[in-house]
């Protein structure tokens, strides 16, 4: 019963925000901005730039709120807009470069159990080249398929697979290094 109330509350909030009710827009913003800034931060290293991108994406959210059909979750819808905005920002800045490398190896990585903190994880992801990072984020965190990623980034499916393979390999190496450092072996 409580869930239904919450859902209807959000629906009303969206309706009011679509009608340019500033209070409703602020409520929606404060509800989702934290998570959305986290998503933008995954793609953009600089937090201030990530915030700028988030604000631009929120502008798009409020402008297109009338087109939201309440079929899926609202958060998922905003999330998609955020991701697309981050990709287009990086493209405009020409920070992403994909080597048309279709070599990838289906290998099973070691199932490393890590006790890495969120900041450590973010640092690991930041250390990846932009292309690897983007494909890794889209595939492993957002859950897109290679076909969808290829379409979004305007690359071939093979390139997407190879980028992911390289990213995984690099991450494994980084995690192993960290573990060795913690154990004092290195």
Q: Which of 24, 82, 125, 134 binds other proteins (CB under 8 A)?
A: 125
Does 49 sit near other proteins (CB under 8 A)? no
Does residue 6 touch other proteins according to CB under 8 A?
no
Q: Looking at 102, 141, 173, 181, which residue binds other proteins (CB under 8 A)?
A: 141
CA 148 to chain centre: 14
The reply to whether 135 sits near other proteins by the rule CB under 8 A is no
Nearer to other proteins among residue 61 and residue 90 (C-beta): 61
The phi-psi region of residue 143 (left if phi > 0; otherwise alpha if psi is between -120 and 50; otherwise beta) is: left
Stretch that binds other proteins, among 8-16, 67-75, 94-102, 119-127 (CB under 8 A): 119-127
Q: Does 21 bind other proteins (CB under 8 A)?
A: no
Pick the piece of the chain touching other proteins (CB under 8 A) from 51-59, 67-75, 81-89, 93-101: 51-59
Which of 88, 168, 105, 101 is CA-nearest to residue 133? 168
Neighbours of 6 (CB within 10 A): 10
Beta carbons within 8 Å of 136's beta carbon, 6+ residues apart: 125, 128, 163, 164, 167, 168, 171
- Residue 145 interacting with other proteins (CB under 8 A): no
Between helix 157-183 and helix 146-153 the angle, nearest 10°, is: 110
- Decide if residue 44 touches other proteins (CB under 8 A): no
Select the residue interacting with other proteins from 25, 159, 160, 162 (CB under 8 A). 25
- CA dist list (Å): 38 to 34, 43, 118, 152, 169: 6, 9, 11, 21, 24
Contact footprint for other proteins (CB under 8 A): 20, 22, 25-26, 29-30, 33-35, 37-38, 41-42, 47, 51, 54-55, 58-59, 62-63, 106, 108-114, 116-118, 121-122, 125, 140-141, 161, 164-165, 168, 171-172, 175
């Amino acid at each position: 019963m409580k869930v239904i109330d919450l859902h209807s509350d959000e629906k009303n909030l969206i309706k009011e925000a679509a009608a340019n009710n500033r209070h409703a827009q602020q409520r929606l913003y404060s509800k989702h901005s934290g998570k959305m800034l986290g998503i933008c931060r995954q793609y953009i290293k600089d937090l201030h730039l990530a915030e700028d991108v988030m604000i631009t994406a929120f502008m798009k959210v409020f402008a297109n709120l009338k087109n939201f059909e309440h079929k899926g979750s609202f958060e998922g819808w905003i999330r998609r807009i955020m991701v697309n905005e981050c990709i287009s920002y990086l493209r405009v800045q020409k920070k992403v470069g994909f080597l048309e490398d279709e070599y990838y190896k289906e290998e099973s990585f070691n199932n490393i159990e890590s006790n890495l903190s969120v900041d450590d994880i973010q640092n690991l992801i930041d250390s990846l080249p932009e292309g690897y990072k983007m494909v890794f984020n889209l595939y492993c965190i957002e859950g897109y398929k290679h076909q969808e990623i290829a379409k979004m980034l305007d690359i071939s499916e093979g390139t997407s697979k190879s980028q992911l393979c390289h990213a995984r390999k690099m991450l494994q190496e980084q995690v192993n290094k960290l573990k060795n450092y913690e154990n004092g072996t290195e």
